[in-house]
């Protein structure tokens, strides 16, 4: 068994599904440059922008003229613009902050993928890969298109020679071709159906080099790593290949022109292959030698240390992760839903995948809780150890701290404005023009739900005052309960008075002085009466019983009798 698979500490890569996002049926996804915003294209023609920190929707871009499914989304370098390609053959450029459409262009064929020029903060050029024609450079301001060659036999039309069968419109069949810009947009790398990588100067429409791939299989995907140092290709022979870029990251065309020409005696294809060998060299190959499965949406991690590819099998949501050395380190198994798109977070070990049902799954690392991290002076022990207490450990001011002097110069000014360079971004630092977050728009409550809440609260209040066991017991026991004077009863009675409900009024407990006055009022008529024989005794007896009953009524609840 491969040791790198069972070693959980060998690298930072995702392991489990942490969360999923749901909004309509999402088809494709793309992170902005910093990974703080996630754009998702939906089947209804809308583009949703998620705040990846809060997992909330920041903005929804919707064009009334587009109701077809989105095929790809692409951010500009600093996040001000988003390019959206749709199945209705349209390319739409959006202003992210304003949420307004900048321009819309319609092509002759459906663009399967569209990428903005990476060398400009406000690009107007894009690279589109249509379904049944060659890749083209599109000027979004004017709508003009420039078709790129896909082989040396092309004359600029970009259409392959006719073969078996034709499309419904009479055009010759064409295998979809993959293409991408290099890091700064100087060159375009095109992978054709002959298993070749063409290096093209898109400004002059000139093929500068050819890199053949062993086997000659159709290239389905091609993309650069974030740093621009490595190029990835996915072919029909079920193999993912990694090429190392030998050209400098900047001024690639200048480096090609100034490079010594050691192939003067060569001509045509051989010369271009000789130039291509100086541009790219094969670094690694990845494949599943057992199942021989096709791969879907392969890409690099943010730092380029990992390579991932999704299984193209129906009903499987599997993601394979390799290190750059070629070792398979992890297989992520999701729900029984086909995978249609995949991307890695630019900074964190997080992978986001899209299923056929339209859900977006977020894969993250399964971190083990370490509570000792909250107290840096503590350390976890696997077994008990004998601890020797220092003599001054529990002193108010230990001797060690008395001798130790502070190395911090308190007179130095602390800089809280300058932003330190982020090592994850090799090309530039954080720009003030860059958009990392979008302002949140509060959503008001639905009136119907508010009315329901008010109704439920009123029902709750009515039940507390009229239907609760406390109120029923108070009504049954009458005055006896009112003389108890408990805090719960006082709260219920006051609430009932506020809401207009009917309840028994509370009576204050009479004091001893009040009881004496009541008894005195009863005795005064008795003194005026003259007792005479038997009848007077009976009257006195009845009076005494009446007086006793009054006292019992007053203090009988407390168990005191007078």
pLDDT of the residue at 86: 97
Judge whether residue 287 has pLDDT over 70: yes
The stretch 113-138 carries a mean pLDDT of 93
pLDDT of the residue at 366: 85
Q: Could you tell me if residue 52 is inside a domain?
A: no
Share of the chain above pLDDT 90, in %: 49
DSSP string, 200-267: EETTTTEEEEEEE-TT-PPEEEEEE-TTSSEEEEEETTS-EEEEEE-S-SS-HHHHHHHS----TT--
Q: Could you tell me if residue 495 is inside a domain?
A: yes
Judge whether residue 349 has pLDDT over 50: yes
What does pTM read for this prediction? 0.70
| Separation CA 23–CA 515 (nearest Å) | 75
Among the ranges given (345-359, 403-417, 420-434), the one the predictor scored with the smallest mean pLDDT:
420-434
pLDDT of the residue at 455: 40
pLDDT of the residue at 493: 42
For residue range 213-268, what is the model confidence (pLDDT) as tens digits?
988 899 999 999 999 999 999 999 999 999 999 999 888 988 888 876 655 567 78
pLDDT of the residue at 161: 39
> pLDDT averaged over the chain?
77
C-alpha closest to that of 343 among 331, 332, 352, 334: 352
Band the pLDDT of 516: cuts 50, 70, 90. Answer: confident
List of long-range contacts for 301-304, beta carbons under 8 Å, 24+ apart: 301/13, 301/344, 301/349, 302/35, 302/226, 302/344, 302/345, 302/346, 302/347, 302/348, 302/424, 303/226, 303/227, 303/424, 304/225, 304/226, 304/227, 304/229, 304/230
Task: Output DSSP code: residue 466.
Answer: I
Judge whether residue 386 has pLDDT over 50: yes
Q: Could you tell me if residue 68 is inside a domain?
A: no
Q: Could you tell me if residue 502 is inside a domain?
A: yes
Band the pLDDT of 532: cuts 50, 70, 90. Answer: very low
211: number of Cβ within 10 Å? 24
Instruction: Please calculate the CA angle 165-167-171 and round it to the nearest 5 degrees.
Output: 95
The residue whose two tokens read 């050691």 is: 262
Is pLDDT larger for residue 482 or for residue 209?
A: 209
pLDDT of the residue at 59: 94
| Separation CA 194–CA 191 (nearest Å) | 8
Band the pLDDT of 198: cuts 50, 70, 90. Answer: very high
| Separation CA 284–CA 261 (nearest Å) | 28
Judge whether residue 388 has pLDDT over 50: yes
Domain range for 524: 512-555
Band the pLDDT of 402: cuts 50, 70, 90. Answer: low
- Domain shared by 485 and 523, yes or no: no
Structural tokens at position 453: 């809440």
Q: CA quadruple 461, 465, 466, 471: dihedral positive or negative?
A: positive
| Separation CA 128–CA 114 (nearest Å) | 4
The stretch 138-153 carries a mean pLDDT of 91
Q: Could you tell me if residue 463 is inside a domain?
A: yes
Among the ranges given (146-155, 308-317, 398-407, 499-508), the one the predictor scored with the smallest mean pLDDT:
499-508
| Separation CA 176–CA 368 (nearest Å) | 45
Question: Would you call 311 helix, strand, or coil by DSSP?
Answer: strand
Judge whether residue 360 has pLDDT over 50: yes
| Separation CA 135–CA 276 (nearest Å) | 20
The residue whose two tokens read 């399964």 is: 366
277: number of Cβ within 10 Å? 15
The residue whose two tokens read 């005494």 is: 544
Are the beta carbons of 91 and 99 closer than 8 angstroms? no
The stretch 192-210 carries a mean pLDDT of 94
Give the count of alpha carbons within 13 A of 303, CB side only.
14
Q: Could you tell me if residue 195 is inside a domain?
A: no
Q: Label the pairing between strands 100-106 and 125-130.
A: unpaired
Q: Could you tell me if residue 272 is inside a domain?
A: no
What is each CA distance from 197 to 67, 276, 407, in whole angstroms? 35, 9, 58
Band the pLDDT of 52: cuts 50, 70, 90. Answer: very high
- Indicate the number of domains in the chain: 2
Give the count of alpha carbons within 13 A of 552, CB side only.
6
pLDDT of the residue at 498: 42
Judge whether residue 120 has pLDDT over 80: yes
Band the pLDDT of 2: cuts 50, 70, 90. Answer: very low
Is pLDDT larger for residue 11 or for residue 269?
A: 269
Are the beta carbons of 23 and 39 closer than 8 angstroms? no
Judge whether residue 54 has pLDDT over 60: yes
The stretch 539-559 carries a mean pLDDT of 43
The stretch 269-278 carries a mean pLDDT of 92
Judge whether residue 117 has pLDDT over 70: yes
Structural tokens at position 376: 């840096």
For residue range 85-98, what is the model confidence (pLDDT) as tens digits?
999 999 999 999 99
The stretch 288-292 carries a mean pLDDT of 86
Judge whether residue 190 has pLDDT over 50: yes
Judge whether residue 169 has pLDDT over 90: no
| Separation CA 330–CA 319 (nearest Å) | 8
Q: Could you tell me if residue 99 is inside a domain?
A: no
């Amino acid at each position: 068994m491969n040791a790198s698979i069972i070693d959980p500490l060998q690298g930072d890569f995702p392991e489990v599904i942490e969360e999923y996002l749901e909004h309509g049926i999402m088809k494709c996804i793309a992170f902005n440059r910093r990974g703080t915003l996630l754009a998702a294209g939906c089947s209804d023609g809308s583009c949703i922008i998620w705040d990846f920190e809060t997992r909330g929707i920041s903005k929804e871009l919707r064009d009334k003229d587009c109701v077809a499914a989105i095929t790809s989304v692409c951010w500009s370098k600093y996040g001000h613009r988003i390019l959206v390609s749709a199945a209705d053959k349209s390319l739409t450029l959006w202003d992210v902050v304003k949420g307004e459409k900048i321009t819309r262009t319609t092509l002759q064929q459906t663009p399967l993928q569209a990428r903005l020029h990476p060398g400009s903060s406000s690009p107007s050029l894009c690279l589109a890969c249509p379904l049944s024609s060659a890749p083209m450079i599109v000027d979004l301001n004017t709508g003009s298109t420039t078709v790129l060659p896909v082989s040396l036999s092309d004359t600029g039309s970009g259409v392959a020679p006719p073969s078996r069968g034709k499309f419904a419109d009479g055009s010759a069949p064409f295998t979809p071709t993959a293409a991408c810009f290099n890091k700064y947009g100087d060159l375009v790398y095109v992978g054709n159906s002959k298993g070749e990588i063409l290096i093209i100067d898109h400004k002059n429409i000139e093929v500068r080099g050819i890199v053949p791939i062993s086997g000659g299989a159709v290239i389905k995907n091609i993309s650069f790593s974030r740093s621009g140092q490595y190029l990835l290709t996915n072919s029909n022979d079920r193999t993912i290949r990694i090429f190392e870029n030998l050209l400098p990251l900047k001024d690639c065309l200048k480096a090609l022109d100034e490079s010594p020409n050691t192939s003067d005696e060569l001509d045509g294809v051989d010369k271009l292959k000789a130039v291509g060998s100086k541009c790219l060299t094969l670094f690694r190959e990845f494949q599943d030698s057992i199942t021989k499965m096709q791969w879907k949406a392969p890409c690099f991690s943010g730092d380029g240390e990992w390579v991932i590819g999704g299984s193209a099998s129906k009903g499987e949501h599997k993601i394979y992760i390799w290190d750059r050395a070629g070792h398979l380190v992890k297989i992520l198994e999701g729900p029984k839903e086909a995978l249609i798109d995949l991307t890695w977070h630019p900074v964190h070990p997080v992978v986001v995948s899209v299923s056929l049902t339209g859900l977006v799954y977020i894969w993250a690392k399964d971190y083990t809780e370490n509570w000792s991290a909250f107290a840096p002076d503590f350390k976890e022990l696997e077994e008990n150890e004998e601890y020797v207490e220092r003599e001054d450990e529990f002193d108010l001011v230990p001797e060690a701290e008395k001798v130790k002097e502070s190395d911090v110069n308190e007179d130095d000014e602390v800089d809280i404005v300058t932003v330190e360079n982020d090592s994850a971004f090799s090309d530039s630092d954080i720009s003030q023009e860059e958009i990392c977050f979008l302002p949140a728009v509060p959503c008001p409550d639905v009136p119907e739900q508010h009315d329901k809440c008010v109704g439920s609260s009123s029902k709750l209040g009515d039940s507390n005052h009229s239907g609760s066991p406390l109120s029923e017991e108070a009504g049954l026991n009458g005055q006896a309960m009112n003389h108890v004077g408990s805090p719960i009863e006082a709260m219920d009675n006051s609430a009932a008075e506020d809401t207009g409900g009917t309840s028994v009024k509370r009576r204050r407990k009479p004091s001893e002085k009040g009881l004496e006055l009541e008894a005195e009022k009863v005795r005064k008529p008795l003194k005026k009466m003259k007792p005479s024989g038997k009848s007077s005794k009976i009257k006195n007896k009845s009076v005494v019983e009446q007086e006793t009953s009054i006292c019992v009524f007053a203090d009988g609840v407390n168990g005191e009798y007078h």
